[in-house]
Chains A and B, each alone.
Chain A
Amino acid sequence: MPSIIKPSIPLIPLAKNDLGLTIRNYEGSMSTLCAGCGHDSITAAIIRSFFEMSLPPERIAKISGIGCSSKTPTYFVSGAHGFNSVHGRMPSIATGANAANRSSIYIGISGDGDSLSIGAGQLVHAIRRNVDMVYLIENNGVYGLTKGQFSATADVGSRAKKGKANKVTPIDPALLAISLGASFVARSFSGDKEQLVPILKAAISHRGFALIDVISPCVQFNNHNGSTKSYSYVREHELKDIETSYVGEFSEITADLTQGNLTSVTLHDGSEVVFRSLPAGYDSHSRESAIAYINGAVARNEIPTGLLFIDEQAPDMHQVLETTSEALVDLSYESLCPGGGQLEKFNQSFK
C-alpha cells in the first residue's frame, strides 16, 4: 500500500458541488489493492459520479461481500454508511437494507467471484426483485485474492499467467441480467471513465436494479498476453457502438444534444439518458435486441460496452410489494406495531 496518506493541500483550487463539497470529500481510505488495479479506477469513477451529482454522503449506503472488489467501498465516501458482508451475500443484505429504508441510495460492489460463483444464487433473486440499487461487478476474470485462478467470467481460450487456457464456458453477467428481467444493464471498462461516469450516474438515477458489468483488469494476475481481460486486449476489442450521455435533472440540455439522431430516456427523477449513437436497428428497450447484439459481438470476439438495456418503467421491489412510500425506519412505533387488538382482527379475517 502507499507509503503515505494522500495529503490535503490547502490552496488547491478544487471545484465545489451544490452541497459545497469538493471531490476530496467523497474519497475514502487509501487503497490497499495492487498498484494499477482496475478497481481503483472504478473507485475514482464512483467518487466523481457522486461528487458531480451532489449526493449527500450520509444518504449513500455501500455494501459488499468478499474479494478484492469488495474491499473497494472502503476507498470511497468515508461519510457513507457501509456494510462489508459475507462472501456472496451482499445482494441479501442490500435487499434487506433497502426494504427497511428505501430513502437511501444503495450501491453494491461485487466481483466476478463474489457475484457469479459463490453469490450467483443471491444475485439472480436481487435482479428478479428489481431492488432499487446500483449493482457493480468489478469483473477481471480471475480470483485475484487467491492468486489468479480462472473465475466464472473467464473466456474460453483466455490464458492464465503461466499459459494454461481456460476450457469452461463463461457466464456473461449482462446476458444473465437481461434474461432474468433486469431493468438496467450496462457494461463498461475501468480504463474509460468518460464512458463509465455517465453510466454510473444514470444507474444511480434509475429506479430499480441497475447492473453494471465493468471489465477491470487484474494487473497482477490477468494483464498478460493471452488474457482477454487485460488493458490492451480490452482496448483492442472494445465495441463502443452505443454511446450515451447523462443529463442531470436540473442541467440544461445543451444544443448539441438536441440535434441529430438522438433518442433520450427520461428517468423517474427527471434526469435523462441520451443515446448519442446506437447500432442500426438497435432498440435499447428490447431484451431480444440486446441479447442478439451481445451474442453477435461475442461471436466476433468483441466486447460490447455501453448502456445495453433499459426499462425505466419496471416496478421496483417496493412497488411490487406495495409498501408505504415512507421508509419503514421512519414510521412511528405505533404504525409499525399496531398492537394486539389489530393482530386479533387480522387473524380473525382468515377464519
Chain B
Amino acid sequence: MMEPTNTSDPNFYHRVVDCQWSCPAHTNVPEYLRLIGQGRYQDAYMENRSSNVFPGILGRTCDRPCEPACRRVRVDGNPVAICRLKRVAADLSGDLSERLPKSNPNKNGFKIACIGAGPASLTVANDLLPLGYEVTIFEATSKSGGLMRTNIPSFRLPESVLNFEIDAILNMGAEIRFDFPVTSLSALLNQKFDAVFVGSGAPKGKDLQLPGRNESTERIHIGIEWLQSVAFGHIDSVGERVLVIGVGNTAMDCCRTARRLGGEEVTVIARRPRQFFKASPWELDDAEEEGVDILVNYSPTEFIVKQGKLAGMRFDVLKWNDDATKSEKIDSVVIDCDDVILAIGQENAFEWIERDIGLQFNADGMPVVDPFTMESTLSGVFFGGDAAWGPKNIIWSVAHGHEAAISIHNRCQKVSLSQRPLAGMSLSSQKMGISEWSYNNDYNPSDRQKMVHVEMTRRFENLSLEVELGFTPEQTAVEVQRCLNCDIQTVFRADLCIECDACIDICPVKCLTIAEGLEDEIELRKSLTLPALNMDQPLYISAPLPQTGRIMIQDENICVHCGLCAERCPTAAWDMQKFTLQLGYAGDTRGQ
C-alpha cells in the first residue's frame, strides 16, 4: 500500500499553490488577489512587497513564471493575469509611508558592502537595514536600479515607479556611492566589511564578429549598451531603417525603443523559426503591434560598409528541420539599413575579481556559488542575481537577495549558513456556516482580460509614455475572480469519513476516488474516477478509512477548489482551509 501523504510538510500544500510554488520569491498570489478583489490595495501591495520587494516594477516587467504554472491554464487554457493585477495593487496603494519597513536606529555594528545597485543588492539592503546593519552600495553608473533602469525602457516602466520602490529601500539609510565601479575585489575586502555581496549583474552585451564589423562602428550598437545610453539621455535618435539582430526580450525592447527614436522600418532578425524564440510571447505581440517586422530563418553573415558607412547586412536564408537542430542555406540576401542593434545575449564580466584571492571560478568563467547559501568559495563573499549564474530576471535576483541576506545575517550572528530559518505554515478553516465560505468559491467562466494599450496615434509621442494603461476597475473585478484560490486547501481527515461517496459524486472535476490501496502509483493513477495522467501533480493519499480500510485519493490537477466536497461532507471530514506559507527571511529564528 502506498504511504499516506504527509501533509504536515509545508511543501505539500505549497506545491498545490502553483503560482506561489513556481515564483522564485514564493509570493502569496491568491491572498493578494483576494485583497485586490476587496479593494484592499495597500494590504495587497504589502503582501507582495514582503516577498518580492518591487511590486510596482514587477507588476509591469516580471517574466511571470507564475502564469504558465497557473492552474487556470489546465482548466480553461489561459492563466490569471497575475502580473498585471500586481500592478493594480501598486498603482492604487496610496500613501504607503507608514507601512514601509524602517531601518533599525540601533546599529548592530556590522558593515555590509553590495556591489551594483540592481534588484539583488537592493533586496539585500531591504532585508538587512531593518536589522541594524550598515549597508554600502557601490554603483558603477550615476543612477540606481541596475538593468531595471538601463535595460527596461521607460514606456514599459515609468521612472516614477522605479524611483519610488528603490527609494523605499535607499531611504532606510543605505549609503550609495554612484559612479564608483569596483575595480578590485581584493581592495574592497581590505576595507573591513563584515560581508560583501556581489550583485553586479551580467553587464556585457555580446558582439557579433563578422566581416565588416571593424570597418564601421558608430552605427552598429550593442543592445544593452544602446538601451542604457537611451535611458541616460546620451542617445535620442536612430536612423529610419533599423535592423535588430536577435529575438529575446532585449531585442523587443530595442526594436520598440527604435520605433520611438525615429525608426520607421524596424526589422527584427531571427535565425530560427518562431516557436524557438526566446522572447516572451506577450513581448513579441507588443512589438508587432507597433509595426515591427520579424524575419525568421535569417542568419547574419556580413556587415556591408560603403565609403566607411554602414549600408546594410547580408544574411543566409536558412531552411530548418522540424526541431530546428539542422539547417541548410537556400539563399543569400542583403537588407539595407542605417543602424544595426545587436541583441544576441549578454555576459558576465569579472575582470575586477582577482583570481588569486581564494574565489574559485568554473570553466565558463563563472564564480562557484553555493545555490542555497549564495556564498562563493571565499568566505564572506556572496553572489546573487545575474552575477551568480548568468542572466535570469528580476524576480530571481530578489529571491537570491533574500537568501544572501539570510546567509550574511547568519555569518554576522555566528550561526552556520546551513541553518536556514524553517518555512512554516498555518491552516485555518474558511467555513462561515452551512454551505458558506469566507472566499468566493464559485467558478468564474470569464476569459482572461486583455490589457488596453495607448492608441497607436499617440504611441510614439515621447519615449516615456507608458504603453499599457493598466486594468480598469471592471477588468480587475473580473480578473481576480478567475483565480481559483488554490491556497484554500481541500484538507481531509480520514478518521471522520463514513464513505458515503457524497464528495466523489458532487466533485465537478471528478478528482476524488475511494479505492483499495495499490502498490504501484502508475496503476493507481490509471484506476481513478478520472485517470490522473498529469504526473507533475502529486496525488493526495489518505490514511485507511475507518469503515472499510480503503483510502481516499485526490488528484489536484484540475481541482477548482470550489469547496463542494466539503459542503456535501456530512461529517466535516473535508474542510476548506487557508494555507499560509511562512517564509523565512533574515532575522527569523524559526528552527535555529
Chain B, residues 464-506, CB within 8 Å of chain A (1/0): the string is 0000000000000000000000000000000000111110111
Contacts of B498 in A (CB 8 A): 36, 219, 223, 231-232
Contacts of B307 in A (CB 8 A): none
Contacts of B448 in A (CB 8 A): none
Contacts of A12 in B (CB 8 A): 508-510, 530, 558
A321 at the interface (CB under 8 A from B): no
**Chain B interface SS verdict (over half):** loop
A99 at the interface (CB under 8 A from B): no
> Of A38-46, A87-95, A197-205, which binds chain B?
A38-46
Q: Is the CB of B562 within 8 A of A191?
A: no
A336 at the interface (CB under 8 A from B): no
B171 at the interface (CB under 8 A from A): no
Q: Is the CB of B570 within 8 A of A4?
A: no
Contacts of B570 in A (CB 8 A): 34-36, 219, 223
B160 at the interface (CB under 8 A from A): no
Closest Cβ of chain B to A214, distance in Å, is 13
Bound complex: CA A153 to CA B301 (Å)? 91
Contacts of B436 in A (CB 8 A): 3
Q: Is the CB of A4 within 8 A of B442?
A: yes
Bound complex: CA A190 to CA B548 (Å)? 15
Q: Is the CB of A2 within 8 A of B508?
A: no
B427 at the interface (CB under 8 A from A): no
Q: Is the CB of A11 within 8 A of B562?
A: no
Return the chain B residue nearest A23 by Cβ.
Answer: B510
Q: Is the CB of A40 within 8 A of B75?
A: no
Bound complex: CA A193 to CA B505 (Å)? 11
Q: A7-B508, A40-B568 are in contact. Are A235 and B547 (CB under 8 A)?
A: yes
Q: Is the CB of B75 within 8 A of A36?
A: no
Return the chain B residue nearest A41 by Cβ.
Answer: B501
B74 at the interface (CB under 8 A from A): yes
A217 at the interface (CB under 8 A from B): yes
Interface residues on B, range: 35 or more
Q: Is the CB of A6 within 8 A of B564?
A: yes
Chain A, residues 169-196, CB within 8 Å of chain B (1/0): the string is 0000000000000000000001101000
Bound complex: CA A231 to CA B498 (Å)? 7
Bound complex: CA A34 to CA B548 (Å)? 23
Contacts of A280 in B (CB 8 A): none
Contacts of A232 in B (CB 8 A): 498, 547
Q: Is the CB of B75 within 8 A of A3?
A: no
Q: Is the CB of A2 within 8 A of B558?
A: no
Bound complex: CA A40 to CA B501 (Å)? 9
Contacts of A223 in B (CB 8 A): 498, 570
Bound complex: CA A13 to CA B530 (Å)? 8
B443 at the interface (CB under 8 A from A): yes
A255 at the interface (CB under 8 A from B): no
Closest Cβ of chain B to A342, distance in Å, is 54
Q: Is the CB of A9 within 8 A of B567?
A: no
Q: Is the CB of A10 within 8 A of B76?
A: yes
Chain A, residues 103-130, CB within 8 Å of chain B (1/0): the string is 0000000000000000000000000000
Q: Which of B442, B501, B510, B548 contacts A193 (CB 8 A)?
A: B501
Bound complex: CA A9 to CA B560 (Å)? 9
B571 at the interface (CB under 8 A from A): yes
Q: Is the CB of B510 within 8 A of A8?
A: no
B569 at the interface (CB under 8 A from A): yes
Chain A positions 228-285 with a Cβ under 8 Å from a chain B Cβ: 231-232, 235
Closest Cβ of chain A to B508, distance in Å, is 5
Bound complex: CA A40 to CA B437 (Å)? 22
A19 at the interface (CB under 8 A from B): no
User: How many A-B residue pairs lie within 8 Å, measured between CB atoms?
Assistant: 104
Closest Cβ of chain B to A75, distance in Å, is 10
Q: Which of B441, B445, B505 contacts A4 (CB 8 A)?
A: B441
Q: Which of A3, A8, A11, A235 contacts B77 (CB 8 A)?
A: A11
Closest Cβ of chain B to A345, distance in Å, is 58
Among A3, A193, A235, the most chain B Cβ lie within 10 Å of the Cβ of A3
Bound complex: CA A3 to CA B445 (Å)? 17
Number of A residues whose C-beta is below 8 Å from B?
Answer: 31
Q: A232-B498, A235-B548 are in contact. Are A9 and B558 (CB under 8 A)?
A: yes
Q: A6-B506, A36-B569, A235-B548 are in contact. Are A11 and B76 (CB under 8 A)?
A: yes
Bound complex: CA A7 to CA B509 (Å)? 9
Closest Cβ of chain A to B195, distance in Å, is 49
Chain B, residues 555-592, CB within 8 Å of chain A (1/0): the string is 00010101110011111000000000000000000000
Contacts of A41 in B (CB 8 A): 500-502, 505
Contacts of B506 in A (CB 8 A): 2, 6, 40
Q: A7-B508, A10-B76, A191-B501 are in contact. Are A35 and B442 (CB under 8 A)?
A: no
Closest Cβ of chain B to A147, distance in Å, is 16
B275 at the interface (CB under 8 A from A): no
Bound complex: CA A58 to CA B470 (Å)? 49
Closest Cβ of chain B to A5, distance in Å, is 8
Q: A10-B75, A10-B76, A14-B530 are in contact. Are A37 and B502 (CB under 8 A)?
A: yes
A1 at the interface (CB under 8 A from B): yes
Contacts of B510 in A (CB 8 A): 12, 14
Q: Which of A1, A34, A40, A231 contacts B499 (CB 8 A)?
A: A231
Q: A11-B77, A231-B547 are in contact. Are A6 and B508 (CB under 8 A)?
A: yes
Bound complex: CA A8 to CA B560 (Å)? 10
Q: Is the CB of B501 within 8 A of A9?
A: no
Q: Is the CB of B442 within 8 A of A191?
A: no
Q: Is the CB of B548 within 8 A of A2?
A: no
Chain B, residues 162-195, CB within 8 Å of chain A (1/0): the string is 0000000000000000000000000000000000
Q: Is the CB of B508 within 8 A of A8?
A: yes
Bound complex: CA A8 to CA B76 (Å)? 10
Return the chain B residue nearest A24 by Cβ.
Answer: B508
Q: Is the CB of A4 within 8 A of B75?
A: no
B457 at the interface (CB under 8 A from A): no
Chain A, residues 67-100, CB within 8 Å of chain B (1/0): the string is 0000000000000000000000000000000000
Q: Is the CB of B501 within 8 A of A44?
A: yes
Return the chain A residue nearest B572 by Cβ.
Answer: A35
Contacts of B508 in A (CB 8 A): 6-9, 12
Return the chain A residue nearest B511 by Cβ.
Answer: A12
Contacts of B214 in A (CB 8 A): none
Bound complex: CA A114 to CA B442 (Å)? 36
Bound complex: CA A48 to CA B436 (Å)? 29
B435 at the interface (CB under 8 A from A): yes
Bound complex: CA A219 to CA B500 (Å)? 9
Bound complex: CA A7 to CA B558 (Å)? 12
Q: A2-B568, A3-B441, A7-B508 are in contact. Are A40 and B502 (CB under 8 A)?
A: yes
Contacts of B505 in A (CB 8 A): 40-41, 43-44
Q: Is the CB of B547 within 8 A of A7?
A: no
Bound complex: CA A136 to CA B510 (Å)? 26
Bound complex: CA A198 to CA B570 (Å)? 27
Closest Cβ of chain B to A189, distance in Å, is 11
Q: Is the CB of A11 within 8 A of B74?
A: yes
Chain B, residues 426-451, CB within 8 Å of chain A (1/0): the string is 00000000011100011101000000
Q: Is the CB of B437 within 8 A of A3?
A: yes
Q: Is the CB of A35 within 8 A of B76?
A: no
Chain A, residues 25-53, CB within 8 Å of chain B (1/0): the string is 00000000011111011011000000000
Bound complex: CA A326 to CA B539 (Å)? 53
A to B CB contacts below 8 Å, 30 in the list: A2-B567, A3-B437, A4-B443, A9-B75, A10-B75, A10-B77, A11-B75, A12-B509, A12-B558, A34-B570, A35-B567, A35-B569, A35-B570, A36-B570, A37-B502, A38-B500, A40-B505, A40-B506, A40-B568, A41-B502, A43-B505, A44-B501, A44-B504, A191-B499, A191-B501, A231-B498, A231-B500, A232-B498, A232-B547, A235-B499
Enumerate the 3 nearest inter-chain pairs by beta-carbon distance, A residue then B residue, closest first: A36-B570, A7-B443, A44-B505
Which residues on B are within 8 Å of A, measured CB to CB? 74-77, 435-437, 441-443, 445, 498-502, 504-506, 508-510, 530, 533, 547-548, 558, 560, 562-564, 567-571
Known: A8-B445, A9-B443, A35-B502. 4 other contacts (CB 8 A): A2-B506, A4-B443, A7-B442, A40-B501
